A and B are shown apart, each in its own frame.
Chain A
Amino acid sequence: MTYIIERIGIWIGAFLTFAILSFLYKDNPFYKIAEQIFIGISAGYWFIYTIYNILIPNLFTPVLTDLSANRLLLIPAFLGFLMLCRLIPKIDWVSRYPISFVMGTTAGMSLILFLRSDIIKQTSETMMNPFSAPDLAATIGQLILIIGTITGIIYFFFSKKHEGAFGTTAKVGIYFLMISFGAAFGYTIMARISLLIGRLNFLLGNWLGIIKP
């Protein structure tokens, strides 16, 4: 019985894979069916997951089993309830309070983390003596890093007109940006091809059984 259910699942998976890939030819009803199924299942999955894996273990069980030790949990529960008031137009303004609370705490927490990890540590990483590198290749690499960082930042400095020496430096920054976008594009292609490999591995392995999945 388990085998039959598994096989049916694989056939449905194969059908949905072809339905999604058919969009490459042109938009068609099969693609739309697969798209709607995906959206529906995702929404349903998240709804149930939130209740059973987030709300019940983190809120309902602790509050119902030991309220005195978990009174603090009632505050986020209340804020969460206020968030749902958005569904009632007459009192939807109430939802702004939990939203502002979330925005404030997120901004406060992230500010410190980003300031330390992305600004201070990254800046100090660029402040180096390029000639202290062990070999010529490393020295060149460090020089390129310094030039790229400075010219890239200059390109994003819009309070001064990009002309003359300043404009030329900004132009060098554009080239560095283009190279980095090119690298990012290359990595993106690699990621997408990897996903195609995964799907074809499923079709040729699990579905057709031609290769070992």
Chain B
Amino acid sequence: MKTLNILTKIDRRIIFLLIFFGVAVPLLVTINFKLGVTKNVRKVYNMVEETQENSKVVISYDYGPSTKPEIQPMAIALLNHAFRKKLRVICVALWPMGVQMCNEALETTLQHFPDLKYGKDYVNLGYKTGGQVTINHMAKNFRSTFPTDEGGTPIDELPILNGINNFNKIAFIIGLSAGDPGIKQWVQVAHDSYGKPVAGGSTAVQVPFLLPYVNKQQQLTGLIGGLKGAAEYEKLINLPGFATKGMDAQSIAHLIIILFIIIGNIGYFASKKQKGKIKS
């Protein structure tokens, strides 16, 4: 019993070290664990897949560098898919650093699509403060919300925005969000007030709070959750990237955590039993 008691007193630094190596080694050596695709990610994929060529879509970059490892792979995968389907992408940001995240995602993606032209096939309108107020204003008057793009070019000079005065000519909106403002505001305003299809990609932390919106009323058409969701999307478009590689490390780290939860519980019940014996 005393040996089992030791299990409750493992130094946390040993656990940290094991997690560190558990994550580092799979990054060096590819394992390729099998990965299934969940219904919610497939819904987002289907939405992009079934949208007509040349449709204009909005992708909102509502995250910053702190959550980049989780959301950036989704952004790249979604851009790849949208460009393959010949959709025209209008990027906006409700978070200031979203502008940079968008530019980085575009830079990576455009390596596969050298013929696409800025202003015609895609555009980055930059950041606008205000959250739900901004979305509401976009729905009423898109042009006055974003009179210029991120670089200061008036939107009248950008062909992609011809005829875009509100949400009417936007096929769908995808919010890539790490918090507030983000997907929730897009659902509340763009979908629930203006009936525009909204899908999302979020950090894993947010998933339990956003899942209720993926319902029969399609408040959210689908949800890509965390690194796993991003890996699933990469699988669907057959373009393995950072998320697919990261899932090996993620799985090993989870195994280590589960192992220590089991060890901790064995130790806990052993010490409880011992205390019971002492009392009796």
Interface residues of A (CB under 8 A from B): 24-25, 49, 53-54, 58, 109-110, 113-114, 116-117, 121-122, 124-125, 180, 183-184, 187-191, 193-201, 204, 210-211
A198 and B205 CA atoms in complex are apart in Å by 16
Q: In the complex, what residue of chain A is closest to B133 when comparing beta carbons?
A: A109
CA distance A197 to B242 in the complex (A): 10
**Is A125 within 8 A of B216, CB to CB?**
yes
Residue of A nearest to B226 (CB): A190
Q: Is B49 an interface residue (CB 8 A)?
A: no
Contact with A along B186-205 (1 / 0, CB 8 A): 01110011000000000111
Q: At the interface, yes or no: B81 with Cβ under 8 Å from chain A?
A: no
Q: Are A193 and B249 in contact (CB under 8 A)?
A: yes
Cβ contacts B110-151/A at 8 Å (1 or 0 each) = 000000000000000001010011000000000000000000
Assess whether A204 is in contact with B27, with CB atoms less than 8 Å apart.
yes
- The distance in angstroms between the C-alpha atoms of A191 and B203, with both chains bound, is 7
The complex places the Cα of A200 from the Cα of B193 at a distance, in Å, of 42
Q: A194: which of B19, B27, B204 is its contact (CB, 8 Å)?
A: B204
Are A200 and B207 neighbours in the complex by a CB distance under 8 Å?
A: no
The answer, among B16, B27, B225, B257, for a CB contact under 8 Å with A200, is B27
Residue B234 at the A interface, CB < 8 A?
no
State whether A195 and B24 are in contact (beta carbons under 8 Å apart), knowing that A24-B13, A121-B192 are contacts in the complex. Answer: no
CA A117 – CA B242 in complex, angstroms? 34
Q: Which residues of A contact B189 (CB under 8 A)?
A: 113
Q: Taking the complex as formed, is B88 at the interface, i.e. its CB lies under 8 A from any CB of chain A? A: no
Q: Are B254 and A189 in contact (CB under 8 A)?
A: yes
Could you tell me the distance in whole angstroms from the C-beta of B69 to the nearest C-beta in chain A? 3
Binding site for A on B (CB under 8 A): 13, 16, 19-20, 23-24, 27-28, 66-70, 96, 127, 129, 132-133, 187-189, 192-193, 203-205, 207-209, 212-213, 215-217, 219, 225-228, 242, 246, 249-250, 253-254, 257
CB <8 Å contact, A194 and B212 = no
Cβ-defined partner of B129 (8 Å) among A58, A117, A195, A204 = A58
28 pairs across A/B with beta carbons < 8 Å?
Answer: A25-B13, A109-B133, A113-B132, A113-B189, A113-B192, A116-B188, A117-B187, A117-B192, A122-B212, A125-B217, A184-B205, A184-B208, A187-B207, A187-B225, A187-B226, A190-B250, A191-B70, A193-B19, A194-B69, A194-B70, A194-B227, A194-B250, A195-B67, A195-B70, A196-B20, A197-B227, A197-B246, A197-B250
User: In the complex the two chains form, what is the Cα distance from A124 to B187 in whole Å?
Assistant: 16
- Asked if residues B253 and A193 are in contact (CB atoms below 8 Å), the reply is yes
- Min CB distance A49 to B, Å, is 5
Asked, given contacts A58-B129, A189-B254, whether A201 binds B219 with beta carbons under 8 Å apart, the answer is: no
Residues of A contacting B227 with CB < 8 Å?
190, 194, 197
Most chain-A Cβ atoms within 10 A of its Cβ — which of B133, B189, B208, B225?
B208
Is there contact, CB below 8 Å, between A194 and B226? yes
B70 touches A116 (CB 8 A): no
In the complex, the answer to whether A197 meets B249 with C-beta atoms within 8 Å is yes
Task: Specify which of A109, A187, A193, A210 is in contact with B28 (CB 8 Å cutoff).
Answer: A210
CA distance A71 to B157 in the complex (A): 27
